[in-house]
Structure 1
Amino acid sequence: MALVAHGQGAGDFASLRAEFALPESFPPEVLAEAEAAAGDLVPCPGSREDATGLPFVTIDPPGAKDLDQAVLLTRRPGGRFRVHYAIADVAAFVAPRGALDAEARRRGQTLYLPDGNVGLHPPMLAEQAASLLPGVVRPAVLWTLDIDSDGEPSTVRVRRAWVRSVERLDHDSVAEALRAGTPHPSIAALPELGRLRREHAARRGAVEPQVPEQRIRAEPEGGWALVRRPRHEVEEWNAELSLLTGMVAAELMIEAGIGVLRTVPEAPPDAVDWLRRSAHALGVSWPDSASVSEVLAELDPADPASLALHAGTVRLLRGAGYTAFDGEVPESVGHAGIGGPYAHVTAPIRRLVDRFATEVCLAVAEGRRVPEWVRRSLPELPRLMGWSDSRASRVERACLDQVGAWVLAERVGTTFDGVVLRFDAAGAAEVFVQNPPLLARCSGVTAPEGSEIAVRLTEVDVVGRRVCFEQA
């Protein structure tokens, strides 16, 4: 049973919003431009491909309204697949260098807080006119990918289209329908293609740490709970479609010599050697010929030793950033976590860079010059997105820490179950506390990494969003 924060923990996140100077609303000129853009764009035959006859569906968390992606999967002979992946065409609403564009550059991405989002775009666009809601015609960028029996894309087509989703699904409903043997026809092939692409990820060397994910849940009776976010196979399969599209987009850009990629450098050999030694110390088997990806794929993340190894794997994925180029392709264009070049193109409602990367892909696919407004923006995108990613990470961490402090405020002296994940340079341990699920520093730990231990809560600083434990 989840521990729930009431009283001082039943408040809102106003102080956190003020601390990070998060905007409370959009400027009037931005709202006016958004309203005009939403009203002006009406489906017009011949203005883009008519794909409204394709039965797309969306798969998102329950309650989501900013729907970036819609999908249709079909099986083809010989174990092959065709993926139709429609992405919200935000560029159809946002004029280059207008008020909307300027505000989006200031924000960088949508921030998700427990008491409400801080959107990249005004709700009239993000949740209405641009969102791929069911039953309405929407402008989209449509990717059609033919996948061979090995999980590799064989042909790629991208263009602007009108689409109409037929149903809004969520991960739970999709999983339930699959278990019952009654999947939606548009995604009946998702398990097969998803598993094929997961196998492909292991082969190409993708490094995917399965660290515990936390989620803040609003309780019906009031207050907040910190719970462990379940890992859905459906969510992983659906994510593979986005990753596949991003990898195809990256290849288009590299071949054309222009674009912006999401990059993570390969881990240096000494970091991999360190992880191998950690695996040995944890009792995790690591054959000499096996890669990091292959070892991780065989682990049960729920096992304490495996959990500790996954936590250590995060050290291999340092230096994430964005690489823009126009002319000469940089030497390093890979994403170590994905196992190849990758670009953000599938979430333009929620992330700034996707709009520009998509315009590059459309121009390259159509054999025309990339628009000047895109070329002029490429050099500044790494800075804008780097700052935005950093702020989003700090806001998310602050929210989790705040709820953790609220939940534990009255429990100093209580003992909890935990797992030792790793030790820092000063010798302090990071532990994963099972309930409530949180990562915290713990003093006096004598047990090795991967050990299950009892920890005692020694201090809670609600204002500073800090909790401290010691080994019990």
Structure 2
Amino acid sequence: MPRRVLVIDSAEAPDEARAALAKGIEAIRAEFALPARFPPEVLRDAERAAREDHGPGPGRPDRTDLPLVTLDPPGSMDLDQAMLIERRGSGFRVWYAIADVAAFVRPDSPLDREARARVETFYLPDLRIPLHPPVLSEGAASLLPGEDRPAVLWQLDLDSSGDLTSVEASRAVVRSRSRLDYPTAQRQLDAGTAPEAMNLLREVGTLLRDREALRGGISLNASVQQVVADHDGWRLEYRAPLPVEDWNAQISLLAGIAAADLMLYGQVGVLRVLPEPGEATVGKLRRVARALKVRWPEGEAYATLIRRMDPARPRHAAFLTEATSLLRGAGYEVFDGQIPPRPIHAALATQYAHVTAPLRRLVDRFAAEICVSLCAGDEVPDWVCAALPSLPALMESGDRRAKAVERACVDLAEAVLLRERIGEVFEGVVLDLNDRVDWDRNGKPDAGVVMLREPAVIARLDGHDLPQGAELRVRLVTADPASRRVLFDWIDAV
């Protein structure tokens, strides 16, 4: 899992920190040419689409009888997914409604062209740069509670072992009953007061997670860096994902696997693929495990080891951060009439497609349209087929920019929050050595990366003969928001 920054409420931050963060964000927006406002013609097109009638009709039955709920981070308004899980004999039926963005975005319209230029939603410390105008992404197209919304409704039937037995994807009008958030749902589950929807999510999510393990798939339960505002200012901390987040992700993965199955059967689609990590990558991860004193018995698969890691333990958290190297090289594979030779996502150990986040990711709109057409026995629309060849390059370019923006935002937040602490001493663990250091900034052949225990910082480290995996004390020597540069100097071992 990549690092990311979440700012809970920047209004509570000290004025100086807020000003430095705002200035740094503007610099990042300019550096990466991030779009600012939507052009007037795009906003007019979005307003037009929001006013249109998207109620029940031919090809879009009324399924507002389904008591769907959404589950997202607190405060989310761009709600892509709503779910309902039912028992069905010894198995389950999962109803999964996905925002039908294609109902609002006409091919080659201003909205369509702008979405292709943006590719995806960008997340910065205290704002989002959305893929679609908020009148749609947080309004007419979002699966907000109590509102009738057009959706692509997936019916996913599972047997008692978690295997898919049938799949349907069709258009419908749905209405979410309530908007749930992760922390509240987890507290209710822990206390035994959760609604039945969340109890079934835990049961099915656990079943699907077990199926993933049997396939040899991996889910990196790595901690993320989080910026939290409180009455004293800001602090950086590590946050391990809640179990309910993983169970919810398993439902999304289930839909993506089902979508890929449909596409491969119909011999047309766009898959998310990831090659198996090479021997060199796995070999390096073994060396990291030895350095961090993480026990990795001969013959144990890396997927099994990763599942044993506890992100609350510093050495395990460091190993999980390094294990993201196994996920490098992901891309998109388009096909029309000839199935790709290896249409597999190695981390999931199965085929997979992106279909569950169309409000935030361009490719999902096209992939969902393919699945609806295949289930109905219809030809895939010409506008989808015409766009397919360009999607991999568009998405890969957008992914690269999003990751670069994410890294820049993390560096900025660390520099802002540490800038008054030059000279202080911290404890941490040496995470990595030369190959991940930005030499243009450091120019030090003996530099590395240190992961602090507190605050939650992963930053550059100067030193001599750095022992990877060593616990040590370091002194902060640079924290410059303008350059987004944070640098520590080695003092001694802990």
Deviations 1:145-198 (A, max 9, x none): 111222221111111111000000000111121122222233321111111111
Match of residue 438 from structure 2: none
Kept in 1: contact 2:131–2:360 (CA 8 A) = yes
The answer to whether 1:168 aligns with 2:209 is: no
Choose from 34, 39, 47 the match for 1:22: 34
Residue 407 of structure 1, aligned match among 417, 423, 429? 417
User: Of 449, 453, 457, which aligns to 1:434?
Assistant: 453
Question: Distance between the aligned counterparts of 1:437 and 1:305, measured in 2?
Answer: 14
1:213 to 207, 224, 243: 224
Structure 1 counterpart of 2:476, one-letter code = L
Quick one: distance in 2 between partners of 1:281 and 1:176?
Answer: 37
Correspondence for 1:247: 257
- Which residue of the partner structure matches residue 460 of structure 1? 479
CA distance in 2, matches of 1:183, 1:5: 34
Q: Deviations over 1:69-116 (max 9, x none)?
A: 0011112333x2211110000000000111100000000011122232
For the pair 1:63 / 2:82, whether they are aligned, the reply is: no
Q: Deviations over 1:332-358 (max 9, x none)?
A: 321122222111100000110000011
Indicate conservation of the 8 Å contact 1:224/1:403, yes or no: no
**1:106: which partner in 2?**
117
Q: 1:181 is matched with which residue?
A: 192
Compute the displacement of 1:302 (Å).
2.6
* Cα distance change, pair 90–341 in 1 and its aligned pair in 2 (3 A): same
State the Cα distance separating 1:220 from its structure 2 match. Answer: 6.2
Query: What does 1:27-46 align with in structure 2 at a 5 Å threshold?
Result: 27-46=39-58
SS in 2 for 1:241: helix
Partner of 1:379 in structure 2? 389
Deviations 1:8-35 (A, max 9, x none): 4222122322222222211111111111
- Amino acid of the structure 2 residue aligned with 1:59: L
Q: Note the C-alpha offset of 1:120.
A: 0.5
Of 276, 288, 292, which residue of structure 2 is paired with 1:266? 276
Q: Residue deviations 1:230-252, cap 9 Å, x none? A: 31101111011001111111111
How many residue pairs are counted as aligned between the two chains?
469
Equivalent-residue separation in structure 2 for 1:427 and 1:332 (angstroms): 40
Larger displacement relative to structure 2 (388-397 or 158-167): 388-397
Amino acid at match of 1:326: D
Deviations 1:355-414 (A, max 9, x none): 001111111111111111000100111111111111111112111111110111111110
Match of residue 18 from structure 2: 10
Query: Would the aligned equivalents of 1:401 and 1:465 in 2 still touch at CA under 8 Å?
Result: yes
Tell me the equivalent position of 1:256: 266
Rounded Cα–Cα distance in structure 2 between residues aligned with 1:277 and 1:148: 41
Kindly report which structure 2 residues correspond to 1:43-442, keeping only aligned pairs within 5 A, or say none.
43-78=55-90, 80-219=91-230, 224-425=234-435, 426-442=445-461
CA distance in 2, matches of 1:209, 1:186: 25
Tell me the CA shift for residue 48 of structure 1: 0.9
Letter in 1 for 2:315: A
TM-align CA RMSD: 2.1
Check whether the contact 1:8–1:406 (CA below 8 A) recurs between aligned residues: no
Unaligned runs of 5+ in 2: 1-7, 436-444
Question: Relative to structure 2, which stretch is displaced further, 11-20 or 66-75?
Answer: 11-20
What is the one-letter code of the residue matched to 1:23? P
Whole-Å Cα distance in 2 between the matches of residues 354 and 441 of structure 1? 37
- Give the distance between the partners of 2:284 and 2:28, measured in 1 at CA: 37
The alpha-carbon deviation at position 327 of structure 1 amounts to 1.6
- Whether the aligned pair in 2 keeps the contact of 1:56 and 1:166 (CA below 8 Å) is yes
Separation in 1, partners of 2:316, 2:182: 26
For residues 124 and 62 of structure 2, the distance between their equivalents in structure 1, rounded to whole angstroms, comes to 37
Shift of 1:67: 0.3
In 1, the alpha carbon distance for the partners of 2:41 and 2:291 equals 60
Deviates further, 98-107 or 252-261: 252-261
Partner SS for 1:200:
helix
Q: What is the CA distance between 1:281 and its match in structure 2? A: 4.5
Q: 1:261 to 1:469 in 2, by over 3 A?
A: same
Q: Is contact 1:304-1:451 (8 Å) kept?
A: no
**Which letter maps to 1:416?**
F
How far apart, CA to CA, are the structure 2 residues paired with 1:468 and 1:418? 13
* Aligned equivalents of 2:344, 2:350: Cα separation in 1: 5
Contact 1:334/1:341 (<8 A) preserved: yes
1: CA distance between counterparts of 2:53 and 2:97? 18
Letter paired with 2:479: V
What is the distance in 2 between the residues matched to 1:281 and 1:442?
Answer: 17
User: 1:308–1:422: 8 Å Cα contact kept in structure 2?
Assistant: no
- Residue 470 of structure 2 corresponds to 451
1:37, 1:53 → 2: CA distance? 25
* Structure 1: distance between partners of 2:265 and 2:236: 45
Amino acid of the structure 1 residue aligned with 2:34: L
Query: What residue number does 2:441 align with?
Result: none
- Cα deviation, 1:195-241, whole Å, max 9, x if unaligned, reads 111112222122333433112345567x6543323311011110110
Amino acid at match of 1:50: D
1:90, 1:69 → 2: CA distance? 12
Residue 428 of structure 1: how far off its partner (Å): 2.6
